[in-house]
Amino acid sequence: MVKMILWRSVYAVASLFVVSVIVFAATQALPGDAAVAKLGKNATPAALESFRQLYHLNDPLPTQYVNWLGNILQGRLGVSFATGFPVGSLIGDQVANSLVLIAATVVIAVPLAVVLGILTAIRRDRATDHISSVLMLVISALPEFVLGVALVLLFATNVSQVLPAVSPVDPSRSIFQQLDLIVLPTLTLVLLVLPYVVRTVRACMIEALESEYVTMARLKGMSERRVVLRHALPNMAGPTFQVVAQSLAYLAGGVVVVESVFQFPGIGQAFVSSVLSRDLPVIQAVAMLLAVFYVLVNLLADIGTVAMTPTMRGGTR
Amino acid sequence: MTPPDDIAVATPASATTGTARKRNAAPPRKQQSADGVRAVLRRTLRLRGARVGLVLMLVVMAIAFLGPLFSPHDPTATIGSPYALPGGDTLLGTELLGRDVLSRFLHGGAVILLLSLLATVVGAGTGMLLGLVAGYRRGVRGELIMRSLDVVLSFPPLLLALLFMSLLGTSPLLVLLTVAISHVPYVARIVESSTLAVTGRGFVQYCEMIGVPRRRILTGEILPSIVAPLTVQFGLRLTYSISLIASLAYLGFGRQDPAVDWGMMISQNQSNVVGSPWPVLLPVLAITIVTVGANLLTDSFGRAVGVDLGREG
Amino acid sequence: MGTDTDRYTGEYAVEVAGLTVDLERGAVNVVSDISFALAPGEILGLIGESGSGKTTVGSALLGHARAGTAITGGKIVVDGVDLLSLNRKELRRYRGRVISYVPQDPRASLNPAMRLGAQLQEALTVHGVASRQQRLARIRQVLDEVKLPSDDRFLRRYPHELSGGQQQRVVLALSFLCRPKVVVLDEPTTGLDVTTQAHVLRTVRELCRSHRTAAVYVSHDLAVVADLADRIAVMYSGRLVEVGAAEEVALRAAHPYSRALLDVVPDPHRRREIRTIRGRVAALHERPDGCVFADRCDFVEPECRRQPIGVVRIGDGHTALCRRTEALPVRAGQEEESTRVGGTPDDAVRTPGEVYLAVRDLRASYGGKEVLHGIDLTVPRGVVTALVGESGSGKTTLARCLGGLHDEATGEVSVDGRRLAFGAHERSAADRREVQYIFQNASEALNPRKTVGRSIEQPLRVLGGADGPLSQRVASLLADVALGSDAADKYPSQLSGGERQRVTIARALATAPTILICDEITSALDVSVQSAILLLLKRLCADSGLTMFFVTHNLAVVRAIADRVVVLNEGRIVEQGPVDHVLDRPQDPYTRQLLGDTPSLLHA
């Protein structure tokens, strides 16, 4: 078990390293000149040259990479091309906003999905199950932005004008004072992860309910309640944890689109706008941040799953 | 070691998300069906979900590919004031820049659907090949393939696409490639594990024993045995391609104005959705219908061949 | 009905009368009119082959019907109460406390996410033992009885940390925890090695004796049951065709099916003529109206098919479902056959001729771990050699090395003086033709997407060797294994288990091999099907002078088919020689133990 955690961690660090190379390569080493990208096609050669000097763009690539990585590791994320402000302070608020969004999503989606998954498994092939499975099928088919726009059409137009269509969070106030603005983005994200978790929980629960140990529990005279709670539930903890963590990781991609739909000032929107304006330092910082989040959550998923599954844990030595 | 006491009790089929399970024509016992392609298709189409899904997909595809022929106006021509209401010359009004909504809608689907299909074919095809090799030839080679694919997995697909586009621009080829790359690890994983399971079976070992060439074993024995999970993956990946490509278009990384696609149509007109819903509603409906249709069809097929989407989705 | 209840005057531990189970849909009968009674401490062996409904009866005794089936009639009286008259909640109070169940697969039936202590405690808690002290005391007592450690460290373990035999003991402990009146055991030793099986059986017997617990022991293995049970009930096609005292049934079976079954069971202690039962078990929907065995019976009359057969009393507590019992000839008794011990084998075996296959210092490993430690072996041409051993003995690895399926090996294998490579891909086409391998699991060994004909053709296409059209060769191969030529167009899923195994044999014979390696090819089959396959192999060897390796864990099968036997233990040969020689006078202690633990009808 300890060996497995170590091994996974080494692997996570290794893949982050590879990711950093990819991020660096995609933004700095590939054809397309950052200086031209920043200053425009009409910039004078002298201006381009001084820009390159300023950002060390003339150094050999490995040197650039090592410097860049060193800075990132020390928390120096560079200076935005577009605004001239340090990237760190620029995206700090946005990271916080996104985290609130993700946290709200998890708090709502996970219990809802687990309960729904268990319920549909127990009432398998009855009306509840059928309705739920069709709904999940439809929702899981939709792109994030279509879901978001559909919710806007439903709740923020003449259909029912109850919530704001966009979420321009006022940076001078705490996000917790503007909670109405995060309702629709959160709802979108909840719907986004719901189908995956519900399906997995349902499948695991059914597997457990059909297992021989559950049949045996019934033959030992246990009540149905006890069978579900004491015998079936513990066996789906591992897979459930895994799918929850995976969908959390999936949210790292989902926020990008959903924040754009609602113009929610989070990390995703920062990413899209920096890509559109080719603001390299911001792109690099946000991409690395999201990748770290993604890898860490996946690492957590692997470790947690093993920790929750006795058969994978190895002996009690 | 023992003969199973095989009274033909209807053993519950796999834990599929099952609308039509009771009407399901599939045999109750989960056995290796020996039937051919035609029988599987027939069994799939007997499910209501499959028929509905197929019709939904065909309708949207017809609109996307045949629509331009019936377009009343030039989709790039300004023919009225912005956000003109339906009536007169325009059946569904005009959009942001005063261009005909219906014409732009009819022209906006082909590229997205075509790119999605190509990206899926390329991505799933590559994933299949890598998965087959990794699963059958295990050892260092297989390990190397799977571990490097894991690295691709350690990056959200959308971010990967955006990252590449940040410097390389937004050419359709680039969209196709990035979306295809994002499919590879998922398909490869499923194919690898299915291949691994088949390789352990006696009939593959028998072929190795009598000296059937490895390539023939791969194409003649293993590939036909994993067609079912592979097809399910293809369907899931197709849905995902459409999602991803439409999302990229929506974010501004698709075709550039004055050309049109559905994603961009939505983002351009979203701010005035209250006053003029059609330019948003039409593409939203089209994308919804085609992805839901693809998902329904895939789910039904999966159910007909006994592959559970709940665990593979 | 009720004929079984007049032999005992006290109160029965369990009385079953007219128990009937049907499919929920289509009004198809699964088992019907099951009646028997057991005195406290009595063990009933419920014996039957696949499709007989024995497992259905086993779980129905606890008022449990498997999904898709329903108990539609009868009484199960335990402790003065008819279980079938209780509602769900009342029934729960009886299950596990008064009547308990030991399932076939202990690994699957213990909850993988709960510690052993928690599972054992729970079984007592739900039946009202509230004090933890009391529970632990009882648990430790029962664990001692099943010969498991009872310390806290053991109780903190998870099921997957135990061996298969230990897991089965835990399940036994669970079922005896509440001191029930009746225990139903459903093939509890299936998949265990004979040694472990012998230990478990001994434990079951002791527990039943000491607590006067009645037991229903469901099994496909007549020899196991004859060893253990006081009474035997034989099931066929959903009916109890014969019930009686164990030795009574073993010696004076009255029903033609029981007699046939006794004839096909191989025995480790004597070489018997291999016999078979003609025909096959009717599918659930095709069961005949009259006598269920009529289609396979040698003594059938038209009258037998007319209507269901009533119970016929044979003797004290001995009944059969046959109207012809009086007309049946006296069975070829055991005494007569016993005289043939050590009779038949060719003298050639005792005085080996030229060496055809030789193995020298063969060492094989899996992932660096050596599992065969220097095997030396010579086999004359045309001899059937059995490789026997328990799981982990290396017998399958040895077979796979010979078959070219395992190349992590050193040493030398030669055929007819020619050295054979370990990996099949390094062998010449001629070598690959000569050595053929048959897998244990026939349904996995045949590509489910290919017709039988295409599968049999494959080696001919790859290795050549067919003169004339392939379809003709396929038909003649199918005929060799007693299958009709119409089988060629079928898919494996359309065949029965025995038929599938015949197809893999036909495929192996396609290239006219000189060496045939059979890896446990009958261990997944019913005894009656097994005997038919053994007979077929025996005939093939005699006809074509095949040299055969027969891998098995079953010494009875060794006696039935082999000329020579090689006993493997932990990767080493502990004894080898002519079968009758080794099995009659085993020299090695391991062989002796193996032989002693192998159940036999002679012990009964």
Domains in chain B, CATH or no CATH each = 62-84+91-305 (1.10.3720.10)
Shortest CA gap A49–chain B (Å): 19
In this prediction, residue A100 carries a pLDDT of: 87
**Chain C contact probe: residue of A125, A206, A219, A236 with most C CBs at under 10 A:** A219
Whether C292 and C549 have beta carbons less than 8 Å apart is answered as no
Segment 316-375 of chain C within 8 Å of chain B by CB: none
In this prediction, residue A49 carries a pLDDT of: 76
Nearest to B164 among A16, A26, A130 (CB): A26
Nearest to A212 among C103, C113, C114 (CB): C103
Segment 210-229 of chain A within 8 Å of chain C by CB: 211-213, 215-223, 226
Segment 277-296 of chain A within 8 Å of chain C by CB: none
- Which of A245-249, C185-189, C306-310, C509-513 is least confident? A245-249
User: What's at C600, amino acid-wise?
Assistant: S
Backbone phi and psi for residue C308, each to the nearest 5 degrees, phi listed first: -55, 145
Find, in chain B, the residue whose alpha carbon is nearest to that of A299.
B154
| A97 inside 8 A of chain B by CB | no
Find, in chain C, the residue whose alpha carbon is nearest to that of B205.
C405
Nearest to B5 among C23, C55, C494 (CB): C55
The answer to whether the bond into B258 is cis (omega within 30° of 0) is yes
The reply to whether A249 falls in a domain is: yes
Q: What length does chain B have?
A: 313
Question: Do A129 and A23 belong to one domain?
Answer: no
Backbone phi and psi for residue C322, each to the nearest 5 degrees, phi listed first: -150, 135
The reply to whether A218 falls in a domain is: yes
* Count of domains observed in chain A: 2
Say which residues have a Cβ less than 8 Å from residue B253's Cβ, sequence separation at least 6.
Answer: A275, B161, B162, B165, B170, B175
Do C55 and B3 make contact, defined as CB atoms within 8 angstroms?
no
Q: Which domain holds residue A45?
A: 2-73
The answer to whether the bond into A239 is cis (omega within 30° of 0) is no
Predicted confidence (pLDDT) per residue in C538-575, tens digit = 988 888 889 999 999 999 999 999 999 999 999 999 99
Question: Do A257 and A117 belong to one domain?
Answer: yes
Task: Compute how many other C-beta atoms are within 10 angstroms of the C-beta atom of residue A140.
Answer: 25
In this prediction, residue C19 carries a pLDDT of: 94
The reply to whether A88 falls in a domain is: no
Number of B–C residue contacts, CB under 8 Å:
117
In this prediction, residue A41 carries a pLDDT of: 64
Q: Residues in chain B whose beta carbon is closer than 8 A to a beta carbon of chain C?
A: 1-12, 28, 31-34, 201-203, 205-212, 221, 224-225
Mean pLDDT of chain C: 88
Question: Do A189 and A116 belong to one domain?
Answer: yes
Backbone phi and psi for residue C70, each to the nearest 5 degrees, phi listed first: -145, 140
Read off the CATH number of the domain in which A144 is found: 1.10.3720.10
Do A221 and C93 make contact, defined as CB atoms within 8 angstroms?
yes
| C69 inside 8 A of chain B by CB | yes
Name the more confident of C362 and A88: C362
Bridge partners, C516 (sequence order): C436, C548
Nearest to C53 among B2, B7, B32 (CB): B7
Whether C120 and C177 have beta carbons less than 8 Å apart is answered as yes
The reply to whether A83 falls in a domain is: no
Whether C98 and C38 have beta carbons less than 8 Å apart is answered as no
Whether the per-residue pLDDT at C493 is higher than 80: the answer is yes
Task: Give the Cα-Cα-Cα angle C56, C61, C63 (nearest 5 degrees).
Answer: 95
Partners of residue A317 in chain C, C-beta under 8 Å? none
Adjacency order of strands within the sheet including C69-78 = C29-38, C14-23, C69-78, C81-82
Give helix B157-168 / helix B172-199 axis angle, nearest 10°: 150
In this prediction, residue A173 carries a pLDDT of: 67
In this prediction, residue A174 carries a pLDDT of: 67
Find, in chain C, the residue whose alpha carbon is nearest to that of A233.
C113
The reply to whether A142 falls in a domain is: yes
In this prediction, residue C341 carries a pLDDT of: 40
| A168 inside 8 A of chain B by CB | no
In this prediction, residue B20 carries a pLDDT of: 30
Question: Do A149 and A237 belong to one domain?
Answer: yes
- Which of A162-176, B233-247, C318-332 is least confident? A162-176
Question: Do A233 and A144 belong to one domain?
Answer: yes
Question: Do A228 and A292 belong to one domain?
Answer: yes
Predicted confidence (pLDDT) per residue in A228-244, tens digit = 888 998 888 888 888 88
Question: Do A51 and A105 belong to one domain?
Answer: no
Do B2 and C497 make contact, defined as CB atoms within 8 angstroms?
no
In this prediction, residue A36 carries a pLDDT of: 65
Say which residues have a Cβ less than 8 Å from residue B84's Cβ, sequence separation at least 6.
Answer: B90, B93, B94, B98
Whether the per-residue pLDDT at C309 is higher than 90: the answer is no
Nearest to A219 among C95, C113, C161 (CB): C95
Task: Compute how many other C-beta atoms are within 10 angstroms of the C-beta atom of residue C238.
Answer: 27
Do A219 and C127 make contact, defined as CB atoms within 8 angstroms?
no
Question: What's the whole-number mean pLDDT along residues C463-487?
Answer: 86
Predicted confidence (pLDDT) per residue in A281-291, tens digit = 788 888 888 88
Question: Do A163 and A267 belong to one domain?
Answer: yes
Task: Give the Cα-Cα-Cα angle C102, C107, C113 (nearest 5 degrees).
Answer: 110
Whether C193 and C391 have beta carbons less than 8 Å apart is answered as yes
Predicted confidence (pLDDT) per residue in C63-81, tens digit = 999 888 999 999 999 988 9
Q: Is C579 helix (H, G, I), strand (E, B) or coil?
A: helix
Question: What's the whole-number mean pLDDT along residues C297-318?
Answer: 87
Q: What percent of chain B has pLDDT over 70?
A: 84
Quick one: pLDDT band at residue C590, thresholds 50, 70, 90?
very high
Whether the per-residue pLDDT at C350 is higher than 60: the answer is no
Do C50 and B4 make contact, defined as CB atoms within 8 angstroms?
yes
Q: What percent of chain B has pLDDT over 90?
A: 19
Nearest to B10 among C53, C67, C511 (CB): C67
The reply to whether A78 falls in a domain is: no
Q: What percent of chain A has pLDDT over 90?
A: 9
The reply to whether A84 falls in a domain is: no
Whether the per-residue pLDDT at C511 is higher than 50: the answer is yes
| C239 inside 8 A of chain B by CB | no
Question: Do A123 and A241 belong to one domain?
Answer: yes
* Separation between Cα atoms, residue C311 and residue C517, nearest integer Å: 47
In this prediction, residue C338 carries a pLDDT of: 41
In this prediction, residue B125 carries a pLDDT of: 94
Number of A–B residue contacts, CB under 8 Å:
178
Do A287 and B313 make contact, defined as CB atoms within 8 angstroms?
no
Q: What six digits make up the tokens of C418? A: 């020619």
DSSP character at residue C352: -
**Residue C279 class from Cβ within 10 Å (0-12 exposed, 13-18 middle, 19+ buried)?**
exposed
- Which of B11-20, B249-258, C516-525 is least confident? B11-20
Give all domains of chain C, ordered by start, each with its CATH number.
4-98+180-327 (3.40.50.300), 345-446+514-603 (3.40.50.300)
For residue B289, CA distances in Å to A47, B111, B281 come to: 51, 17, 12
Whether A32 and B171 have beta carbons less than 8 Å apart is answered as no
Partners of residue A272 in chain B, C-beta under 8 Å? 162, 251-252
Quick one: pLDDT band at residue B24, thresholds 50, 70, 90?
very low
The reply to whether A82 falls in a domain is: no
**Beta-strand pair C564-569/C384-388:** parallel
Whether the per-residue pLDDT at C276 is higher than 80: the answer is yes
In this prediction, residue C545 carries a pLDDT of: 86
Whether the per-residue pLDDT at C384 is higher than 90: the answer is yes
Report the Cα B37 to chain-centroid distance in Å: 20
Do B3 and C447 make contact, defined as CB atoms within 8 angstroms?
no
Question: Do A134 and A245 belong to one domain?
Answer: yes
Shortest CA gap B198–chain C (Å): 9
Q: Which stretches in chain A have pLDDT values below 50?
A: 31, 315-317
| A215 inside 8 A of chain B by CB | no
| C191 inside 8 A of chain B by CB | yes
| C447 inside 8 A of chain B by CB | yes
- Which of A141-155, B229-243, C319-333 is least confident? C319-333
Task: Compute how many other C-beta atoms are within 10 angstroms of the C-beta atom of residue C325.
Answer: 18
Question: Do A68 and A128 belong to one domain?
Answer: no
Q: What six digits make up the tokens of A144? A: 């994030």
Name the more confident of C26 and A190: A190
Do B5 and C439 make contact, defined as CB atoms within 8 angstroms?
no
